[in-house]
Structure formats: structure tokens, C-alpha cells
Amino acid sequence: MEQIGIGTSGLKSSRVGLGTWAIGGWMWGGTDEAQSIATIQSAIERGVTLIDTAPVYGFGRSEEIVGKALAEGGLRERAVIATKLGLNWKDGKVYRDSRPERIRQEVEASLRRLQTDVIDLYQVHWPDLETPIEDTARVLADLRREGKIRAIGVSNYSPAQMDTFRAAATLDAVQPPYNLFEREIEADVLPYAKENGLTVLSYGALCRGLLSGRITAETEFEGDDLRRSDPKFQQPRRNQYVAAMRELDALARARFGKSVLALAVRWVLDQGPTIALWGARRPDQLDPVKDIDGWQIDDDTRREIDAILNRCITDPVSPAFMAPPEKRPADMNTQAVG
Ligand code: NAP
């Protein structure tokens, strides 16, 4: 598996990372603990060393399962644990909270759930517009000095927000949405990361399954699965994305003998200093990991990919639907959870 450094932290990671949002169950129609543990252990065995999680994924469940999988498998030393801070919740409602006192609580709760004494990459999940960014950054710099975390990242931040953050603390990584269908960061965050030596953890590398090859116009989702309301999965738009996926699959097979899933992940890796976060909750979903290394997408194919996207997707939509509310509810200013 290809490797990449994370900012200036000295940490090294595989270029594919395992995403464990679905492993938490919440917003993905539930979770199966035994399958999830097997998936995490299988990822490490396949050379996928970075495991991305967050407290909010299943309200602690994803972190607990990651901690259990690594501890039971004796795999902690081989893993790069990337988790997050800055989203709090009450009665299933999520809100942004990166106040210093909350971060101090969160880091201890995450260390406990993850069964470790250090978090490798600690990322602010969403910018908290009601807390000065410098205050958040300074606590993270302190946590690094104290040895509780090794590298610092932000997620869903703009370049201006990252400038403010970097005036108070060294930043190693940024985690934005990025895949063949969601390319907004090419205008700002990606060039910013390249210029400033940040590693980009691209989330939703498979566009929540739309680039896996499995989704059709008929695919149905169960329970609280977010794809029941994700605008890309609603008709008539879903047909456009499925049509693009089919054409991309045909192109990948004809040119490289690969599937659309492998093309989608390889494409992310060929765009810059990236790690592709690939969400999986069953070990067999990681079988195509073997198809990612050892090839590259040439410029001609890149142009054909763009032509397919432009032709098929006439009504594109961004992943903005996932953003938590910007304002904290008034009664949650003193709330401590976690
Ligand atoms: P994703 O990686 O784009 O897609 C995951 C989906 O792909 C799942 O639905 C899974 O299917 C499907 N899949 C995976 N491997 C497959 C295979 N071999 N064959 C068929 N289908 C396959 O979505 P994601 O989980 O949203 O994003 C990846 C990670 O990025 C997350 O887990 C999380 O760690 C991170 N993330 C971060 C943020 C943030 O705000 N920082 C936001 C979103 C995601 P099933 O449904 O069938 O299991």
C-alpha cells in the first residue's frame, strides 16, 4: 500500500484510510459489531493503516468498536487512529461545540473509548462559528505538547478559517468531502493544502456508495440511512449519477481492467497529497483494496472522465446537506456530554 506523511507530524499513513461512520450505525441503518471488528482488523491486515472515526459516529459506538478491534487484535501499534472533536449531541440532535473546556472532556472520553493513551490525528469535525478558532487551536497545540495527540487536523474548514487556525497552532491535515462527483475543493481547499503542506483526508471517496458500482435506480435503503434523504439519491437526479457511474465503469474496464470503485479511489489519490477515506463495514467490501496500487490515471482518461461527468450529470448537487446547524441551541451552552 502506498504511504504518505501527515503534514509535518512525522506520522506515516497508508493512502487509503478506513472510514468508520457506518460502523457506528447512526445514519447508516444500524451496525453489526462482529462484522465491524472483522472489517477493522481486515483493513490493517491489508495494509490500510489509517482508521478514521469520530465521537458522533453512533454517539461513541464507532470509537468503542475501533478501540475494541485494535485492542483484541493486538493491532494498536500498526494503526494510525484519526478521530475528531467539536460535535456534541443531545437527544440525537447534533451541534457544533469546539469550546476549550468541551475539548478537554472530549479528548479524555475518546482516549477511553479507543483504549489508547494517544490519538494519532485529532481533527476538528466542523468549524464552530461561536467559538474563536484561535481558542480551539491553542487547546489542540497544548494537547500535542502534553502527548495526548500526535497530529492536528481540521475538517470542513475554509482556507480563511485555516489561516486563522494556523496563526495559533501547527496544522497537519484537512478533511473535506472529495470524490469524482463532489469536486468543490478544487477551487480553494485543495490548492491551499498543496501550498501549505497539509495532507488531505478526502471523505466520501465512494460518494456514499454511488461510486461503488452497487447502486442502481432501484436500490433501497433501510431505517435511518442518510441516503434516503441525500439529494443525490433522489430521482430524477439519481439516474444521472448512476448513468455516469456506469460509463465510468465501462471506461475503467476498457482502459485499465479495473472497476469504477478502483477508478474512483485511484482518481482521488492522483489529485494531490491525499488519503482516500473509504467507508466499509464488512471485510469483503475491502477486497478491491488490492486494485488501487501500482497504476495511475493518464491525462487522456482524465479528460474523458470529465466529459462523462459533464454529459451525464446535468443537475449536480453539493454534499452541503450534511452540515450540522451553525448555531448552538441556547440551552446547550452549559451541556457536557460524552
Ligand atoms: P463512502 O466511503 O463514500 O461510501 C461508503 C459506502 O460505500 C457504503 O455505503 C458502502 O456500502 C459502500 N461500499 C464500500 N465498499 C464497497 C464495495 N466494495 N462494494 C460495494 N459497496 C461498497 O462514504 P462515507 O463512509 O460517508 O465516507 C468515508 C468516511 O469519510 C466516513 O466513514 C468517515 O470516516 C469520513 N467522513 C467524514 C465526514 C466529515 O464531516 N469529516 C463526513 C462524511 C464522511 P453499504 O451501504 O452497502 O455498506
Amino acid at 165: F
The pLDDT of residue 92 is: 82
157 flagged as catalytic: no
- What does the DSSP 8-state code read for residue 46? T
Note the pTM of the prediction, 2 decimals: 0.97
The pLDDT of residue 123 is: 99
Cβ–ligand 1 distance for 227 under 6 Å, the answer: no
Cβ–ligand 1 distance for 21 under 6 Å, the answer: yes
Ligand 1 center from residue 157 Cα (angstroms)? 20
Mutation test residue for ligand 1: of 80, 265, 277, 281, the one with most atoms within 8 Å of CB:
277
Cβ–ligand 1 distance for 207 under 6 Å, the answer: yes
Cβ–ligand 1 distance for 281 under 6 Å, the answer: yes
Question: What one-character-per-residue DSSP string does 91-125 give?
Answer: TTEEEE---HHHHHHHHHHHHHHHT-S-EEEEEES
Q: Which residue is listed with cell 457506518? A: 22
Residue 56 phi/psi, 5-degree rounding, is: -70, -20
User: What's the half-sphere exposure (Cβ side, CA atoms, 13 Å) at 191?
Assistant: 5
Measure Cα distances from 162 to 107, 171, 200 in Å. Answer: 21, 8, 13
The pLDDT of residue 338 is: 36
The pLDDT of residue 337 is: 39
Amino acid at 23: I
The pLDDT of residue 61 is: 97
The pLDDT of residue 333 is: 58
Residue closest by Cα to atom 7 of ligand 1:
209
Mutation test residue for ligand 1: of 208, 210, 226, 258, the one with most atoms within 8 Å of CB:
208
Residue-range domains of the chain with CATH: 3-333 (3.20.20.100)
| Backbone region of residue 215 per phi and psi (left: phi > 0; alpha: psi in -120 to 50; beta: other values) | beta
Cβ–ligand 1 distance for 205 under 6 Å, the answer: yes
Residue closest by Cα to atom 38 of ligand 1:
203
Are the beta carbons of 159 and 188 closer than 8 angstroms? Answer: yes
Cβ–ligand 1 distance for 214 under 6 Å, the answer: yes
Ligand 1 center from residue 60 Cα (angstroms)? 18
Per-residue pLDDT tens listing for the chain (338 residues): 999 999 999 999 999 999 999 999 999 999 899 999 999 999 999 999 999 999 999 999 999 999 999 999 999 999 999 999 999 999 889 999 999 999 999 999 999 999 999 999 999 999 999 999 999 999 999 999 999 999 999 999 999 999 999 999 999 999 999 999 999 999 999 999 999 999 999 999 999 999 999 999 999 999 999 999 999 999 999 999 999 999 999 999 999 999 999 999 999 999 999 999 999 999 999 999 999 999 999 999 999 999 999 999 999 999 999 999 998 888 775 544 33
Ligand 1 center from residue 280 Cα (angstroms)? 6
